[in-house]
């Protein structure tokens, strides 16, 4: 029995395939193109007319077709799907293609992927082949320094370093300029015998592999020679400049496979060899799977560069012929700058129309499917009788064509990349095509799905590149095509579409082109950022997986400010690390993460306000929080109308809204804005027809700062803050109490100002990476997250609001704010656990607890805020008017001030009271605008407030009945015999009858119950006892 074939080693085959991703994808999906990190191709398993719905992530191997919902996680699954075989067979086919033993892992010392068959190799694989055995690549770390001079040619005039994708040295190319002799070049390689001046292997790496790896989305410019490439790198900072070893002599020996899926153009030398070199390079790039854009139009550079006046606006004058062999290095020497070149590349004719190869000439008359396979997706389907090079959508409709490369039509006329309209005259005869815009492709229909309702908010998903070669995707609402199209053109130009015709006749055809496009794919659009099912939608990306692609759709992307700079590791090292030990910074960053948890936790919107003096560091804390999502521009200002803030809140749904300088908002609107932000919806508005519009809705946390608090600001407009407003807008002091403003520790900096300045600088340099990383970390645990957060919330509240005895009362308001702080603490701990912040366990919670206690200090305790405000208002009234507006009951002129309560005979007592009343009426001081009476009992004043004064003045602006009930419960009001707040008393001058009034006891100032009830249920005044009531 033959031995059984060992199973393939899936792990090392996956790794090797991923390392050779361009070669693998170019083999199995040869019609695809690289777009950023994705390989976009048509799906050969179905009738796929246009690329766009089928994509492969070249960094992870994950792939999906959101038109059919087929997907997989690696290249083995991809090959199994494309070849319709099982996983084991797919692994063997991949191993065979890569030249691997499928059952044996790559040797541990081999750090490069193996050589791929079919002439496609990676930049490192080539050097592991037998042909490269004579040169050690990369140069070992312990290798000696290379020689400083050639044994016969002397010291080189220039030396260039060739590196691999990881930045390791591969070899050197040296230039020599001996007197009276042409320039000479010699490679310097490191082999088994050490450094040697020997030739290069047969398959040679390109110059600048490390730069190509660092900028996978940038366009590539090919020059002739390393010196020219270095100059081009300075003149074209948004491109990656490269060349092949030995320049024009042997482009065919270079390994061009690293340019698979890249957009490539060339800067030729101004001579015949330069043109021939780029023609050969164009063939190599196309064969490697790259997109050749063309050669730079040198005629545009046949001028003298300069500047207009003293400004920096570049110009070019004095047309002349370029010298023979003139290249990028000569341009740099002649004064050309990056600003000059940016203006050149912005021109529609910046590339020459090349002499198209036969493949391009044939392409002009191919079918729509052929165009799609070539990457020239048409906007419309072919129609009957269409002339070569154009297609009609239907009878009577104008045909359009999208070109991505220079081609020649059937008559030999060159046409560059762009969208073309083919007009006809009145007789139906074809007119020359007119370019209406730069390349712009419709790759999917978009529509909103809401439950069982019919789809609505239709749109189109557009794809284009800007002048720097960055790929843009924009879900355009179809309603933008309903008018003149001016808003559509303005937004496309704002986002970076390089060119739209200014011809009034043809520019309106842009809308027709977009409407007539027939993409195969569909995508779900949403009009609000944040959580939508199991995915989180940013304006420019979606995190998570759904049954179909989910994208953000809006008329404009201006103002969202979600962007990334630097890496997560850099943000963690330079920003998050400085938050350690600083409670306010820990709170700010944790609040940013907590905003992403509102929906999973089921929590309501709410906010925090950091109040502090100028230069206390509060704005720095806001900028640090903003760095979780984007650049400093993510931070907004209070200086706006309530309508503008409503629009801004809608743009920050399910994330963090940051507003600085509270004093800049209208104090009359401040409280209502606080309510609006926390309630999560805007004003109700009417449409033109009178029907109600849908309210703008959101769910967010907001972080605010200012030199004053909400109550102080509203007081400027004569308004009082409500407890609900203060709870939604929890306020804490910016000063951490250590003498450094918001900072507790300075991390070795000289002072708080130095630390603040550094934090602002690093937050501007590294930002936007933490929020996506946090979402990616919590998405796999999304189902278990609510229960986890609920447990963390209970534990936090039990720790910060413990019940010590029955007398302590913790209000529901304090619980609501504590729940918000609990979510913030949980978010900070989860971010630390996921390795995003680098904080130790418990650090975020410690900082948040410290800030919560600071909020309690500002508030005055965990009790109901309305009760504290009521007591403060009542006390304030008596402090202001206690003497002037309350007549003294027992005036010192009354001889019965002590005698009448002591009378035991009822008749004598009644007579004494009558005498005292008469005496009082004769001698009492005049009280203007009297609110009641006051009576001194054992050194403490009791106040008898008339009902109307109680309701209209003492309790102005608050509920008088609730206020009386509160004071009654606290023993600050003496009740009647039935326990009601209004008591009875025979007030002086009131005819000697019992009158209703509110009797305020001295407990109002003591803060405790001083009722002193007797066993018979009567108070000390009812019994006539004048002893101290305490």
Q: Is 118 exposed, middle or buried (0-12, 13-18, 19+ CB in 10 A)?
A: exposed
Please state, in angstroms and rounded to a whole number, the distance separating the CA atoms of residues 531 and 654. 7
Please state, in angstroms and rounded to a whole number, the distance separating the CA atoms of residues 292 and 346. 18
Task: State the CB neighbour count (10 A cutoff) for residue 905.
Answer: 9
Nearest to 442 by CA among 345, 503, 518: 518
Is the CB of residue 216 less than 8 Å from the CB of residue 37?
Answer: yes
Query: Which residues of 736-825 form beta strands (DSSP E)?
Result: none
Q: Is 681 exposed, middle or buried (0-12, 13-18, 19+ CB in 10 A)?
A: middle
Give 792-795 contacts, CB < 8 A, sequence gap 24+: 792/822, 792/825, 792/826, 792/829, 793/601, 793/819, 793/822, 793/823, 793/826
Please state, in angstroms and rounded to a whole number, the distance separating the CA atoms of residues 574 and 761. 10
What confidence score (pLDDT) does residue 357 get? 41
Binned at pLDDT 50, 70 and 90, residue 682 comes out as: confident
Is the CB of residue 251 less than 8 Å from the CB of residue 280?
Answer: yes
Binned at pLDDT 50, 70 and 90, residue 124 comes out as: very low
**Rounded to the nearest 5 degrees, what angle is found at the Cα of 286, between the Cα atoms of 285 and 288?**
65
What confidence score (pLDDT) does residue 305 get? 82
Is the CB of residue 27 less than 8 Å from the CB of residue 122?
Answer: no
Is the CB of residue 947 less than 8 Å from the CB of residue 997?
Answer: yes
Question: Which conformational region is residue 602 in: left (phi greater than 0), alpha (psi within -120 to 50 degrees), or beta?
Answer: left
What confidence tens digit (pLDDT) does each residue in 85-108 have?
998 889 888 887 776 666 644 333
Pick the more confident residue, 920 or 125. Answer: 920
Q: List all residues 6 or more positions away from 132 whose beta carbon is below 8 Å from its beta carbon.
A: 126, 201, 203
Write down how long the chain is: 1030
Binned at pLDDT 50, 70 and 90, residue 372 comes out as: very low
DSSP code per residue over 204-270? BPPTTHHHHHH-TTSEEEE-SSHHHHHHHHHH-TTEEEE--TTGGG-GGGB-GGGGTT-EEEE---S
Residue 614 has pLDDT above 70, yes or no: yes
Binned at pLDDT 50, 70 and 90, residue 579 comes out as: very high
Strand (E) or helix (H) holding 536: strand 535-537
Angstrom CA distances, 209 to 131, 165, 166, stand at 20, 5, 8
Strand (E) or helix (H) holding 448: strand 441-448
Residue 394 has pLDDT above 80, yes or no: no
3-class SS at 852?
A: helix
Cα 577 to the center of its chain, rounded Å = 21
Strands 530-532 and 535-537: antiparallel
Mean pLDDT of 542-565: 86
Q: Is 340 exposed, middle or buried (0-12, 13-18, 19+ CB in 10 A)?
A: buried
Residue 524 has pLDDT above 50, yes or no: yes
Most confidently modeled of 317-321, 441-445, 920-924?
Answer: 441-445
Q: Quick one: tokens of 923?
A: 């001698």
Nearest to 260 by CA among 374, 121, 88, 371: 121
Is the CB of residue 1010 less than 8 Å from the CB of residue 1001?
Answer: yes
Please state, in angstroms and rounded to a whole number, the distance separating the CA atoms of residues 768 and 500. 32
What confidence score (pLDDT) does residue 220 get? 95
Mean pLDDT of 232-261: 88
Task: State the CB neighbour count (10 A cutoff) for residue 366.
Answer: 15
What confidence tens digit (pLDDT) does each residue in 943-972 have?
999 999 999 999 988 888 988 988 998 889
What confidence tens digit (pLDDT) does each residue in 44-66 have?
888 777 777 788 988 788 888 87
3-class SS at 4?
A: coil
Segment among 320-324, 520-524, 685-689 with least mean pLDDT? 685-689
Binned at pLDDT 50, 70 and 90, residue 20 comes out as: confident
The DSSP call for residue 116 is P
3-class SS at 1014?
A: coil
Residue 623 has pLDDT above 90, yes or no: yes
Pick the more confident residue, 514 or 304. Answer: 514
Q: Is 220 exposed, middle or buried (0-12, 13-18, 19+ CB in 10 A)?
A: buried
Please state, in angstroms and rounded to a whole number, the distance separating the CA atoms of residues 652 and 477. 20
Report all structural domains of the chain as residue ranges with CATH numbers, in order of start.
10-120 (3.90.580.10), 123-205 (no CATH), 211-352 (3.40.1360), 371-431 (no CATH), 442-509+519-552 (no CATH), 568-686+695-783 (3.40.50), 865-1006 (no CATH)
Residue 198 has pLDDT above 60, yes or no: yes
Nearest to 507 by CA among 531, 526, 490, 529: 490
Cα 892 to the center of its chain, rounded Å = 74
The structure tokens 């004053």 sit at 708
Angle of helix 87-98 versus helix 75-83 axis, rounded to 10: 110
Please state, in angstroms and rounded to a whole number, the distance separating the CA atoms of residues 254 and 243. 9
Nearest to 51 by CA among 269, 371, 313: 371
Task: State the CB neighbour count (10 A cutoff) for residue 151.
Answer: 7
What confidence score (pLDDT) does residue 1014 get? 33
Q: List all residues 6 or more positions away from 476 whose beta carbon is below 8 Å from its beta carbon.
A: 459, 460, 461, 462, 488, 491, 514, 553
DSSP code per residue over 46-78? S---STTSEEEETTT--EEETTTTEEESSHHHH
The DSSP call for residue 102 is T
Q: Quick one: tokens of 311?
A: 């400004």
What confidence score (pLDDT) does residue 730 get? 86
Please state, in angstroms and rounded to a whole number, the distance separating the CA atoms of residues 834 and 823. 16
What confidence score (pLDDT) does residue 625 get? 96
What confidence tens digit (pLDDT) does each residue in 213-236 have?
888 888 999 999 999 999 999 999
What stretches of 464-617 show up as alpha helix (H) in DSSP? 486-495, 504-507, 509-516, 568-574, 583-595, 598-601
Pick the more confident residue, 974 or 361. Answer: 974
What confidence tens digit (pLDDT) does each residue in 772-797 have?
999 999 998 888 999 999 999 999 99
3-class SS at 526?
A: strand
Q: What is the mean pLDDT of the chain?
A: 80
Mean pLDDT of 675-687: 80
What confidence score (pLDDT) does residue 315 get? 59
Is the CB of residue 26 less than 8 Å from the CB of residue 258?
Answer: no
Q: Quick one: tokens of 258?
A: 């690293």
Is the CB of residue 66 less than 8 Å from the CB of residue 523?
Answer: yes
CA atoms within 13 A on the CB side of 173: 20
What confidence score (pLDDT) does residue 192 get? 78
Strand (E) or helix (H) holding 443: strand 441-448
What confidence score (pLDDT) does residue 347 get? 81
CA atoms within 13 A on the CB side of 384: 2
Strands 33-35 and 606-611: unpaired
Backbone angles phi, psi at 993, to 5 degrees: -105, 160
């Amino acid at each position: 029995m033959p031995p059984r074939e060992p199973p393939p080693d899936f792990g090392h085959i996956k790794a090797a395939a991923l390392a050779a991703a361009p070669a693998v994808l170019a083999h199995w999906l040869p019609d695809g193109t690289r777009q950023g990190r994705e390989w976009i191709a048509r799906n050969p398993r179905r009738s796929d007319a246009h690329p766009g719905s089928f994509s492969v992530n070249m960094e992870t191997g994950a792939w999906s077709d959101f038109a059919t919902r087929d997907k997989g996680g690696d290249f083995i699954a991809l090959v199994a799907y494309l070849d319709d075989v099982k996983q084991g067979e797919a692994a063997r086919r991949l191993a065979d293609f890569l030249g691997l033993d499928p059952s044996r892992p790559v040797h541990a010392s081999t750090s490069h992927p193996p050589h791929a068959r079919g002439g496609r190799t990676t930049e490192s694989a080539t050097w592991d082949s037998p042909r490269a055995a004579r040169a050690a690549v990369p140069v070992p770390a312990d290798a000696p320094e290379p020689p400083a001079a050639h044994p016969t040619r002397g010291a080189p005039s220039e030396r260039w370093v060739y590196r691999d994708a990881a930045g390791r040295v591969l070899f050197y190319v040296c230039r020599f300029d001996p007197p009276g002799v042409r320039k000479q070049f010699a490679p310097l390689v490191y082999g088994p015998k050490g450094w040697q001046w020997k030739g290069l292997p047969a398959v040679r790496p390109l110059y600048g592999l490390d730069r190509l790896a660092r900028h996978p989305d940038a366009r590539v410019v090919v020059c002739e020679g390393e010196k020219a490439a270095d100059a081009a790198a300075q003149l074209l900072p948004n491109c990656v400049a490269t060349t092949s070893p030995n320049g024009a002599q042997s482009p065919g020996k270079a390994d061009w496979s690293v340019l698979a899926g890249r957009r490539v153009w060339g800067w030729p030398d101004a001579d015949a060899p330069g043109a021939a070199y780029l023609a050969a390079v164009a063939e190599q790039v196309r064969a490697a799977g790259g997109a050749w854009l063309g050669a730079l139009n040198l005629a545009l550079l046949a001028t003298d560069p300069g500047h207009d006046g003293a400004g920096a606006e570049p110009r070019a004058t004095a047309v002349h012929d370029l010298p023979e062999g003139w290249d990028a290095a000569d341009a740099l020497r002649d004064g050309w700058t990056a600003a000059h070149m940016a203006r050149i590349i912005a021109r529609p004719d910046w590339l020459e129309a090349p002499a198209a190869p036969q493949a391009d000439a044939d392409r002009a008359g191919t079918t729509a499917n052929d165009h799609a396979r070539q990457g020239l997706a048409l906007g419309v389907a072919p129609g009957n009788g269409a002339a070569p090079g154009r297609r009609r959508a239907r009878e009577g409709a104008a045909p359009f064509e999208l070109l991505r490369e220079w081609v020649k039509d059937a008559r030999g006329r060159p046409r560059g990349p762009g969208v073309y309209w083919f007009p006809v005259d009145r007789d139906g005869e074809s007119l020359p095509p007119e370019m209406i815009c730069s390349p712009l492709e419709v790759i999917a229909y978009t529509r909103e799905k809401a439950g069982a309702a019919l789809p609505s908010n239709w749109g189109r998903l557009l794809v284009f590149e800007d002048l720097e070669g960055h790929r843009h995707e924009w879900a355009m609402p179809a309603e933008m095509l309903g008018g003149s199209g001016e808003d559509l053109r303005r937004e496309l130009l704002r986002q970076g579409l390089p060119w739209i015709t200014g011809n009034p006749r043809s520019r309106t055809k842009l809308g027709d082109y977009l409407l007539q496009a027939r993409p195969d794919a569909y995508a779900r659009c949403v009009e609000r950022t944040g959580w939508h099912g199991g995915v989180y939608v940013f304006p420019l990306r979606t995190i998570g997986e759904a049954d179909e692609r989910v994208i953000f759709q809006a008329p404009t992307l201006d103002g969202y400010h979600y962007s990334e700079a630097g890496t997560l590791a850099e943000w963690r090292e330079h920003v998050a690390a400085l938050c350690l030990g600083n409670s306010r910074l820990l709170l700010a960053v944790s609040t940013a993460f907590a905003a992403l948890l509102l929906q999973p936790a089921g929590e309501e919107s709410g906010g925090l306000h950091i109040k502090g003096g100028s230069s206390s560091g509060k704005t720095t804390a806001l900028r640090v929080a903003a760095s979780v999502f984007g650049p400093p521009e993510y931070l907004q200002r209070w200086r706006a109308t309530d309508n503008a803030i409503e629009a801004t809140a809608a743009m920050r749904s399910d994330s963090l809204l940051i507003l600085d300088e509270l004093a800049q908002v209208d104090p009359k609107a401040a409280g209502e804005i606080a309510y609006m932000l926390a309630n999560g919806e805007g004003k109700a508005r009417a449409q033109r027809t009178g029907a109600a519009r849908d309210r703008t809705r959101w769910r967010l946390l907001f972080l605010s700062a200012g030199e004053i608090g909400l109550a102080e600001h509203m007081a400027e407009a004569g308004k009082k803050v409500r407890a609900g407003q203060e709870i939604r807008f929890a306020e804490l002091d910016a000063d951490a109490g250590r003498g450094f403003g918001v900072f507790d520790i300075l991390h070795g900096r000289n002072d708080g100002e130095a630390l603040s300045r550094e934090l602002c600088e690093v937050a501007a340099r590294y930002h936007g990476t933490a929020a996506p990383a946090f979402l990616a970390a919590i998405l796999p645990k999304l189902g278990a997250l609510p229960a986890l957060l609920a447990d963390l919330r209970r534990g936090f509240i039990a720790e910060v609001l413990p019940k010590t005895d029955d007398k302590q009362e913790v209000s529901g308001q304090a619980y609501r704010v504590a729940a918000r702080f609990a979510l913030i603490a949980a978010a900070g701990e989860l971010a630390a656990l996921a390795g995003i912040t680098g904080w130790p366990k418990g650090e975020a919670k410690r900082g948040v607890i410290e800030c919560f206690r600071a909020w309690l200090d500002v508030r005055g305790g965990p009790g109901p805020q309305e009760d504290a405000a009521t007591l403060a208002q009542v006390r304030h009234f008596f402090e202001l008017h206690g003497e002037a507006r309350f007549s003294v009951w027992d005036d010192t002129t009354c001889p019965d001030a002590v005698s009448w309560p002591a009378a035991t005979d009822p008749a004598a007592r009644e007579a004494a009271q009558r005498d005292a009343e008469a005496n009082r009426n004769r001698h009492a001081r005049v009280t203007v605008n009297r609110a009641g009476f006051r009576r001194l009992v054992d050194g403490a004043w009791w106040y008898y407030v008339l009902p109307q004064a109680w309701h209209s003045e003492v309790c102005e602006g608050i509920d008088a009945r609730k206020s009386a009930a509160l004071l009654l419960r606290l023993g600050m009001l003496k009740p009647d015999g039935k326990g009601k707040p209004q008591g009875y008393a025979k007030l002086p001058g009131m005819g000697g009858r019992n009158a209703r009034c509110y009797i305020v006891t001295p407990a109002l100032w003591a803060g405790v119950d001083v009722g002193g009830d007797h066993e018979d249920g009567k108070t000390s005044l009812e019994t006539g006892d004048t002893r101290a009531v305490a």
